[in-house]
Structure 1
Amino acid sequence: MRTLALDIGNTAVKYGCFDGDVLLETAVVAGVDQVSEVLERLRPRHVIVSSVAEATAGWVAQWQQQVSGRVLEFGPATTPLPIRNAYATPHTLGADRLAAAVGAAWLWPTRSTLIIDAGTAIKCDWVEDGHTFRGGSIAPGLRLRFEALHTFTGRLPLVAMPTDPAAPLPLTGTDTQAAIRSGVLNGAVAEVNGFIEAYRAQHPGLQVVLAGGDAGFFQPRLKGRIFVIPELVLIGLHRILVHNVEN
């Protein structure tokens, strides 16, 4: 069974095409209006759509005309899941956070997992024993931190991310741009490492998985054994779709 998972985020539209549980292709398109071309080329039987940005009801109706099976619009508070959602306010829960939790639970069905999703926001989410999403934390992502310093101060410049995410990062900045870069990037690394240490202290044997667009920056800087799975949200969306199609 060929499926397509669509993850419409704040800055990009990502898709993953699956044959069974094998991820055949993943890419980013410029906008939602290009999804029809992807459907025409890949011809999936079923599609799942997740959005943390714009509403998708109109698009779903259009895409249904191109799909022989089901186009499922994923709602964290309404869509049946293969795991338990223990979040107190599911109607406010980001679809990407819950999809990542489902992906982690499928990959490690008996392990507690801490998901570090580093993108527009940095989200640290806990999946208990491979079957229950408990929640976590949300903080500004790296680019938001740079933009906030520039926007809400009078003279601080807007500093860009390093072109090489794995380049050494000096602790002491010897000019203003370097000082901002040290504060934002070293501070974010210390923050995430602190969350990992705190969760591991409470849950020995915790599995940690890293995803998101800035995973490449965090990977060499986080402590302990870390799995890096950039497609975690897409994997979770695929498993949610399969659960709904088969049940």
Structure 2
Amino acid sequence: MANLVIDIGNTFTKVAIFDGGHMLRVEQYDDAEQADVNSFLTNYNIEKVVIATVKTERQSWLHILEARFNVLYFNSLVPAGVNNHYKTPQTLGADRFAAVVGAHHLYPGNNNMVIGGGTCITYDYVDADANYFGGSISPGLKMRYKAVNYYTAALPLLSADEGFNEAYGHDTRTAITSGVQNGIKYELKGFIENYIKTAKEYNIILHGGDSIFFDTLLKNSIFAPYIKIEPYLVLKGLNAAIQKHND
């Protein structure tokens, strides 16, 4: 029997199949369709379904799952093995909390700083005793490049340059690249230093579409030995939550 795990994000929808804690298959869609979901239903013996979504509009294919399964819609109020101290839990994104749950599930007994590189960059921290108090949200990598272009009259729209490794730009294009990418690098270092200043042992867990790029930005830092890359952390957190929910 398998678990069907769905993460509906701002940009992509990820669908995965888990057998216990092992992920058998994962697919990513710009906009999942009924046929995409049907391919999972026909090829796997699904017992449990969990869904997290950050969108307000309802996907048309959800009724298919609801007709066949007791679907768990994950949110920050679902008991999942983490003590949630967020002051407004109803406003905490399901994806952020699922990532925290995933971090604690994968690395129990450790202090875990979770950094999500998606549409926005999210910073969250769960301590070794499974306490979560909150985090931070800032504009993501692509959002910053787009904002520089959109809110100015003459600056071009650029994309990330993984080969850029300069302290400053020597023309307009590299000045933008420096501002965006060095800005994120310094932001990452600053948040990490602040979050883990009282932790003797910790992990820095990177997840999301820009996790590899963020790892590159931090590769020569003092934090490099503590970094773990978990691109499917949200999905793993959702799977851990549904297993906990049905215990």
Per-residue deviation, 1:210: 0.7
Query: What does residue 101 of structure 1 align with?
Result: 100
Superposed, 1:179-194 pairs within 5 Å as 179-194=175-190
Query: What does residue 12 of structure 1 align with?
Result: 12
- Is residue 2:170 matched to residue 1:174? yes
Superposed, 1:14-163 pairs within 5 Å as 14-33=14-33, 34-56=36-58, 59-65=61-67, 67=68, 69-77=69-77, 79-162=78-161
Opposite residue 36 of structure 1, the aligned amino acid is N
Partner deviation per Cα, 1:180-239 (whole Å, 9 max, x = no partner)? 011101110110011112222222212211111001111122232201111110000001
User: Could you list the runs of 5+ residues in structure 2 that have no partner in the other structure?
Assistant: none
* 8 A Cα contact 1:199 1:206, kept in partner: no
Aligned length: 240
Classify 1:168/1:176 alpha carbon distance in 2 versus 1 (closer, same or farther; 3 Å): closer
Percentage of identical aligned residues: 36
* 8 A Cα contact 1:121 1:141, kept in partner: yes
TM-score w.r.t. the length of structure 1 is 0.91
Opposite residue 22 of structure 1, the aligned amino acid is H
Query: Which stretch shows the higher mean deviation, 138-147 or 201-210?
Result: 201-210
Q: Secondary structure of the residue that 2:169 maps to in structure 1?
A: coil
Per-residue deviation, 1:58: 5.6
Q: Distance in 2 between matches of 1:155 and 1:230?
A: 36
Classify 1:176/1:139 alpha carbon distance in 2 versus 1 (closer, same or farther; 3 Å): same
TM-score w.r.t. the length of structure 2 is 0.91
* 8 A Cα contact 1:87 1:133, kept in partner: yes
Q: Secondary structure of the residue that 2:50 maps to in structure 1?
A: strand
